[in-house]
Amino acid sequence: MKRIIATIAATLIAELLVFIIVVGTGLSGALYNVSTLSPDPGFLRWIFSSTSDNSVKYHANGIKVPSLTDSSLIAMGFDHYNEMCVTCHAGPGLEKSEAGMGIYPQAPNLARSAKEMPPQNLFWVIKNGIKSTAMPGFAKTHTDDKIWAMVAFLEKMKNMTPAQYKAMEKANESMKSMKMNMKMDEHGH
């Protein structure tokens, strides 16, 4: 029994040494290419994506979902989406930016994600982001209310046509210019 334990311990120490040598000497640079043009092999992608999915599910569990149907909440969510998310995720009738085209892993189509993920998971991802991918966390710059507004818009975007998106963009622009005019009036008096 003692010999078996000693053999296992020696094997583990040897493996650890090989691991340190591979990482420390730079051999790992030849084994793993960090280029966005070099997609990860299937087994690595499977490890990353299932760990990420499980982590989101685990941490989002128990988050209470508020009502997401209010039209002013959806309009506020649209404003944020149009300004901050299209770059990487595109949208109905919209292309990603050049930066968004160059990231790896690619940002998914959020109309599809919203069909597959419950609202609390969307909320958690937008608030926290996803480490070592381009997905930013918005907790440092946005209150929970604003993040729920983005989720409310995503729920609406599930079945949105490019024409409906354009119509929301127009409504958003005219609301913004109305607010600007009101501000200018206030200063004028």
Interacting residues toward ligand HEC by CB under 6 A = 52, 80, 84-85, 87-89, 100, 103, 105, 107-108, 110, 113, 122, 125-126, 130, 133-136, 138, 150
The residues near 51 (Cβ < 8 Å, ≥ 6 apart) are none
Quick one: 19 or 32, whose CB is closer to ligand HEC? 32
| CA 89/CA 106 separation, integer angstroms | 8
CB of 128 to ligand HEC, least distance (A): 10
Using CA atoms, how far residue 7 sits from 13, 16, 20, 48, in Å, is 10, 14, 20, 32
Q: Of 125 and 160, which CB lies nearer to ligand HEC in the complex structure?
A: 125
Distance CA 112, CA 154 (A): 10
User: Quick one: 22 or 113, whose CB is closer to ligand HEC?
Assistant: 113
C-alpha 44/C-alpha 26 separation (Å) is 20
Peptide bond into 105 cis (omega under 30): yes
Nearest approach, Cβ of 157 to ligand HEC (angstroms)? Answer: 10
Q: How far is the CB of 57 from ligand HEC (least distance, A)?
A: 11
Shortest approach of ligand HEC to residue 52 CB, angstroms?
Answer: 5
